[in-house]
Amino acid sequence: MNSSVLKKVLLFGLCGGLVLAVGILLGHFAIKKTASSQPKWVEEAFRDVDESFIETFISEVDAAQIEANLRELTKVPHMATSPGDEATVQYVLKRWKDSETGLDDAWREEYKVFLSFPDKTNPNKVTVVNPSNNILFTVREKEEAYYDDQRDPEVVQPYAAYSPAGHAKGKLVYANYGSMDDYKHLNNTMNLQGTIAIVKYGTVGRSTKALNAAQFGIAGILVYTDPLDINDGKMSDKTETYPHSWYLPPTGVERGAYNIKFGDLLTPYLAAKEDTYRISKDEITDTPPIPTQPIGFADAYALICELAGAEAPEKWQGGFNCTYNIGGPGFKSTSPFANSDVKLDIYNFEELRNSANVMGVIRGSVEPDRYILYGNHRDSWVHGAIDPSSGTAVMLEITRVLGKMVKEGKWRPRRSIIFGSWGAEEFGLIGSAEYTEEYFTKLSERAVAYINVDIAVFANATLRASASPAAQNVIFTATKQVKIPASDTVSVYDNWMKYYNRSSPTHGIIPNVRYLTGAGSDYAAFMHYLGITSMDISYTYDSSKTNARIYPAYHTAYDTFDYASKYIDPGFTGHQTVARTAGTVLLRLADSLLLPFKCSDYAESLELYLDESLKRYKTQLENKKISMAPLENAVKSFREAASRLEGVIQQSDFANETPFKIRRINDQLMLLDRAFLNPLAFPDKYGFRHVIWASRSSGVPTFPGLADAFEQADSTGLQDDWNQVHKHLSIVAQAINGAAQTLNDVI
pLDDT for the residue 198:
98
* Single residue among 591, 622, 642 that ends a domain in this structure: 591
Q: Determine, yes or no, domain membership for 747.
A: no
Strands of 349-362's sheet, edge to edge?
A: 105-117, 349-362, 415-422, 367-377, 447-452, 534-540, 462-467
SS3 state at 88: helix
Same domain, 33 and 104: no
Q: Determine, yes or no, domain membership for 501.
A: yes
- The bridge status of strand 349-362 relative to strand 105-117 is antiparallel
Q: Determine, yes or no, domain membership for 273.
A: yes
Same domain, 21 and 153: no
30-49 confidence digits (pLDDT tens): 444 444 567 777 888 899 99
- Which of 324, 337, 286, 319 lies closest to 134 in space, CA to CA? 337
- Which of 271, 546, 564 lies closest to 430 in space, CA to CA? 271
Same domain, 533 and 438: yes
Number of domains in the chain: 4
Q: Is residue 29 pLDDT above 80, yes or no?
A: no
Same domain, 17 and 55: no
> What does R_g of the chain's alpha carbons equal in angstroms?
30
pLDDT for the residue 42:
81
- Which of 353, 217, 390 lies closest to 290 in space, CA to CA? 217
SS3 state at 359: strand
- The amino acid sitting at 26 is L
Task: Give the Cα separation of 151 and 173 in Å (integer).
Answer: 33
Mean pLDDT of the region 45-74: 97
CA distances to 161, 437, 619, 699 from 614, rounded to whole Å, are 42, 37, 8, 15
Percent pLDDT > 70 in the chain is: 95
- Give the domain CATH number at 641: 1.20.930.40
Residue 694 · residue 528 · CB < 8 Å: yes
Helix pair 719-742, 599-623: axis angle to 10 deg: 150
Same domain, 110 and 130: no
Same domain, 70 and 171: no
- The amino acid sitting at 658 is T
pLDDT band, residue 485 (cuts 50/70/90): very high
Same domain, 525 and 452: yes
Q: How many CB atoms lie within 10 A of CB 747?
A: 4
Helix pair 83-96, 63-73: axis angle to 10 deg: 150
Mean pLDDT of the region 97-102: 98
Q: Is residue 596 pLDDT above 80, yes or no?
A: yes
DSSP 8-class letter at 570:
G
pLDDT for the residue 655:
82
pLDDT for the residue 13:
46
Same domain, 485 and 607: no
pLDDT band, residue 720 (cuts 50/70/90): very high
Residue 400 · residue 614 · CB < 8 Å: no
pLDDT for the residue 129:
98
Q: Is residue 500 pLDDT above 50, yes or no?
A: yes
Domain that holds residue 8: 3-45
Same domain, 561 and 686: no
Q: Determine, yes or no, domain membership for 515.
A: yes
Mean pLDDT of the region 48-68: 98
SS3 state at 157: coil
Q: How many CB atoms lie within 10 A of CB 486?
A: 8
229-238 confidence digits (pLDDT tens): 999 999 999 9
Same domain, 305 and 168: yes
Task: Give the Cα separation of 672 and 135 in Å (integer).
Answer: 61
* Single residue among 591, 614, 640 that ends a domain in this structure: 591
Q: Determine, yes or no, domain membership for 64.
A: yes
* Single residue among 562, 591, 620 that ends a domain in this structure: 591
Task: Give the Cα separation of 527 and 237 in Å (integer).
Answer: 41
- Give the domain CATH number at 283: 3.50.30.30
SS3 state at 448: strand
pLDDT for the residue 36:
55
640-667 confidence digits (pLDDT tens): 999 999 999 999 998 888 899 999 999 9
Same domain, 229 and 273: yes
pLDDT for the residue 747:
66
Task: Give the Cα separation of 35 and 38 in Å (integer).
Answer: 6
Q: Determine, yes or no, domain membership for 339.
A: yes
SS3 state at 360: strand
Helix pair 599-623, 629-651: axis angle to 10 deg: 170
Q: Determine, yes or no, domain membership for 69.
A: yes
Task: Give the Cα separation of 549 and 563 in Å (integer).
Answer: 18
3-state DSSP: the chain helix, strand, coil percent, rounded to 5?
40, 15, 40
pTM beyond 0.75, yes or no:
yes
Peptide bond into 268 cis (omega under 30): no
Q: Is residue 474 pLDDT above 90, yes or no?
A: yes
pLDDT for the residue 44:
83
- Which of 248, 43, 49 lies closest to 143 in space, CA to CA? 248
Q: Is residue 380 pLDDT above 60, yes or no?
A: yes
CA distances to 86, 404, 505, 566 from 98, rounded to whole Å, are 18, 9, 49, 31
Q: Is residue 25 pLDDT above 50, yes or no?
A: no
E strands, 521-658, where? Answer: 534-540
pLDDT for the residue 39:
79
Cα dihedral 501→503→509→512 (10° resolution): -30
pLDDT for the residue 570:
97
Residue positions annotated with a catalytic role = 425
Residue 193 · residue 220 · CB < 8 Å: no
Q: If phi over 0 gives left and psi between -120 and 50 gives alpha, with beta otherwise, what is residue 512?
A: beta
Residue 229 · residue 205 · CB < 8 Å: no
Same domain, 161 and 99: no
Q: Determine, yes or no, domain membership for 628.
A: yes
Cα dihedral 139→145→148→150 (10° resolution): -40
Enumerate the H helices of 265-367 as residue ranges: 297-304
pLDDT band, residue 12 (cuts 50/70/90): very low
- Which of 249, 246, 232 lies closest to 140 in space, CA to CA? 249
pLDDT band, residue 23 (cuts 50/70/90): very low
Mean pLDDT of the region 324-342: 98
> Quick one: how far is CA 662 from the chain centroid?
30
Task: Give the Cα separation of 83 and 732 in Å (integer).
Answer: 47
How does the average pLDDT of the chain come out, rounded?
94
For 509, residues 6+ apart whose C-beta sits below 8 A from its C-beta are 497, 501, 502, 503
Task: Give the Cα separation of 388 and 82 in Å (integer).
Answer: 16
Task: Give the Cα separation of 690 and 700 in Å (integer).
Answer: 17
Q: Is residue 571 pLDDT above 60, yes or no?
A: yes
Burial zone of 618 (CB within 10 Å; 0-12 exposed, 13-18 middle, 19+ buried): middle
